[in-house]
Amino acid sequence: MTWETVIGLETHVELCTKTKIFCSCTTAFGGEANTHCCPVCTGMPGTLPVLNEKVLEFAVKAGLALNCAITPYSKFDRKNYFYPDLPKAYQISQLYLPIARDGEVSFSLSGGGHKTIRIHELHMEEDAGKLIHDPWLDQTKCDYNRCGVPLIEIVTEPDFRSAEEVIAYLEKLRSTLQYLGVSDCKMQEGSLRCDVNLSVRPAGSQALGIRTEMKNLNSFKAITKAIAYEARRQIELIEEGKPVVQETRRWDDNKDATFAMRSKENAQDYRYFPEPDIPPIELSSTYLAGLFKQMPEMAEAKQDRYQAQYGLPLYDAQMITGQKALADFFEECVRLGTEPKQAANWIMGEVMGALSEAGLEARDMKLSPATLARLIALVREGKLNRNTAVKVFFAVFADDGDVDEYVKAHGLEQVNDPRALAAAVEKVFKANAQSIADFQAGKEKALGFLVGQVMRELRGKADPKAVNAAVLEKLKSF
């Protein structure tokens, strides 16, 4: 029997507002434990939450970017449960009237092809605190700094069929939210976290199988491994005639396996009821139209424009717009006068290479567009050859060093002196009679060797095209 994997995602994204969702405490990541708190976000009796308008704005913008219908009249609800990271013993969330519904997200897959995932809903809620377990002292410490940090939860329909689709969706989601400027989506800091709901069914079947929900997935790698593991576990159970139990499972990154955490709870377990302390939100059409006007140019629009305005191939446009910081970097290089295709080549080659080597994201890179633009200009003006420029690039990359100073300090300027070139050719030809004979006997390789020797003689600083031409010219004279 062939099996099909069916996956739906619930993704929590921390919004990058300055203050929390219902009080004016800072949302800054980290900080000494319990220093970003006040009576409101720690749920002291008698306090009143007040909705941060920026949270509403960011949530609506995210809803619009995910092609959702915005709910003009929405409400908050209380989700009641006791856990030590939640001092109020309830979370303010949205159950009945989420701020946005019925969206869709399209993205391309790395193996080619396109996929569209339906968004069931997007709602606002508050984050909980953090528990720090100390196995040495056998203690658990509570840090409430994260209590009340604004979240949006984005729930998809069960439309994914593979880990590859899940990752491509999350990358698209991350890029979209970064373009919007509503979240930094740093998985390693927990500002994008995702729960994976997974079931399996015989290929071709329409009915959904019984699912499990996996929590604690904090990297793309963990998500990919967890999906493979859980699909196999469920298939094995069914093939052995055993039932799959609907439950919440925890992914253990050290053991590469999922473990049962608790049986799946239902909405009624949480005793949801309308939040009495926050009035309903009514959005006027003027307000919505205002936000709509503020929507920035997103990745797809940029891709179209880069092709039309700069003549970039689709592939280049997709690579560069994959991260907003790269797109900004590219546009600034072009504004500084760099030929667009040149800028694209350097960004896709050296810049992305250096970033991945350094384990950096584009938005954390120090290299400025002005530095790259200057380097490319030196190549175009014939002052540096391409290979030397690459060396200079890697030398200045980490600290955004001064290109001109570096070139001067290391004597790297391209030698364009025809006499120096002629002298080098002369010297190399004298020393390599055999190679000349080889070339005349039809051994093409000998040409490359001679060019390489002349280049070496000029300490790599000559224009390769000029060297090639000079060597060919000289060979004709034999």
- Least Å distance between CB 445 and ligand ADP? 59
Where in 149-208 is the site for ligand ADP (CB under 6 A)? 155-158, 197-199, 208
- Least Å distance between CB 40 and Zn ion? 5
- Alpha-carbon distance of 358 to 163, in angstroms, equals 26
Residue closer to ligand ADP by CB (options 199, 321) is 199
The site partner of 41 among Zn ion, ligand ADP, none (C-beta below 5 to 8 Å per kind) is Zn ion
Q: Which H or E run includes 140?
A: strand 139-143
- Binding to ligand ADP by residue 9, rule CB under 6 A? yes
Residue closer to Zn ion by CB (options 126, 165) is 126
Q: Which residue type sits at 3? A: W
Compute CA 105 distance to the chain's CA centroid, rounded to the nearest angstrom. Answer: 16
- Binding to ligand ADP by residue 6, rule CB under 6 A? yes
- Binding to Zn ion by residue 155, rule CB under 5 A? no
- Least Å distance between CB 47 and Zn ion? 9
The site partner of 163 among Zn ion, ligand ADP, none (C-beta below 5 to 8 Å per kind) is none
What does the CA dihedral 57, 62, 66, 67 come to, rounded to 10 degrees? 10
- Least Å distance between CB 179 and ligand ADP? 23
DSSP state of 442: T
- Binding to ligand ADP by residue 10, rule CB under 6 A? yes
- Binding to ligand ADP by residue 211, rule CB under 6 A? yes
The site partner of 10 among ligand ADP, Zn ion, none (C-beta below 5 to 8 Å per kind) is ligand ADP
- Alpha-carbon distance of 203 to 298, in angstroms, equals 36
Cβ-contact 197, 8 below 8 angstroms: yes
- Alpha-carbon distance of 117 to 157, in angstroms, equals 7
- Alpha-carbon distance of 288 to 57, in angstroms, equals 9
- Least Å distance between CB 123 and ligand ADP? 11
Cβ-contact 216, 228 below 8 angstroms: no
Q: What is the DSSP string of 333-348?
A: HHHTT--HHHHHHHII
Which among 219, 240, 215, 241 is positioned nearest to 230, based on CA atoms? 215
Residue closer to ligand ADP by CB (options 176, 199) is 199
Residue closer to ligand ADP by CB (options 197, 388) is 197
Q: What contacts 374, CB < 8 A, 6 or more positions away? A: 403, 404
Residue closer to ligand ADP by CB (options 27, 197) is 197
With CB under 6 A as the contact rule, which of the stretches 7-15, 84-92, 180-188, 448-456 interacts with ligand ADP? 7-15
Cβ-contact 70, 288 below 8 angstroms: yes
Cβ-contact 396, 403 below 8 angstroms: yes
Binding residues with Zn ion: total (CB under 5 A): 5
The site partner of 145 among Zn ion, ligand ADP, none (C-beta below 5 to 8 Å per kind) is none
User: Residues 243-282: x/- map of binding to ligand ADP (CB under 6 A)?
Assistant: ------------------------x---------------
Q: What is the DSSP string of 29-95?
A: S--STT-S--TTTTT-TT------HHHHHHHHHHHHHTTPEE-SEE--EEEE---TT-TTSEEEE-S
Tokens 């528990």 map to which residue?
Answer: 131
- Least Å distance between CB 25 and Zn ion? 3
Q: How far apart are the first and last CA of the chain?
A: 73
Other CB atoms within 10 A of residue 96 CB: 13
Which among 410, 463, 1, 65 is positioned nearest to 238, based on CA atoms? 1
- Least Å distance between CB 266 and ligand ADP? 6
196 exposure class (CB count in 10 Å sphere: 0-12, 13-18, 19+): buried
- Binding to Zn ion by residue 55, rule CB under 5 A? no
Residue closer to ligand ADP by CB (options 10, 104) is 10
- Least Å distance between CB 183 and Zn ion? 20
- Alpha-carbon distance of 417 to 383, in angstroms, equals 11
- Alpha-carbon distance of 120 to 321, in angstroms, equals 27
The site partner of 369 among ligand ADP, Zn ion, none (C-beta below 5 to 8 Å per kind) is none
- Which residue lies nearest ligand ADP, judged by its C-beta? 8
Residue closer to ligand ADP by CB (options 161, 341) is 161
Question: Which residues are paired to 11 by β-bridges?
Answer: 154, 194
- Least Å distance between CB 170 and ligand ADP? 13
The site partner of 23 among ligand ADP, Zn ion, none (C-beta below 5 to 8 Å per kind) is Zn ion
Cβ-contact 258, 252 below 8 angstroms: yes
Residue closer to Zn ion by CB (options 41, 92) is 41
Applying CB under 5 A, among 21, 25, 151, 367 the residue interacting with Zn ion is 25
- Least Å distance between CB 197 and ligand ADP? 3
Cβ-contact 17, 54 below 8 angstroms: yes
Q: What contacts 291, CB < 8 A, 6 or more positions away? A: 57, 60, 61, 64
- Least Å distance between CB 98 and ligand ADP? 11
Applying CB under 5 A, among 41, 105, 117, 355 the residue interacting with Zn ion is 41
Q: Which two tokens stand for residue 28?
A: 């800054």
Binding residues with ligand ADP: total (CB under 6 A): 16
Binding site for ligand ADP (CB under 6 A): 6-10, 155-158, 197-199, 208-209, 211, 267
**Site for Zn ion, rule CB under 5 A:** 23, 25, 38, 40-41
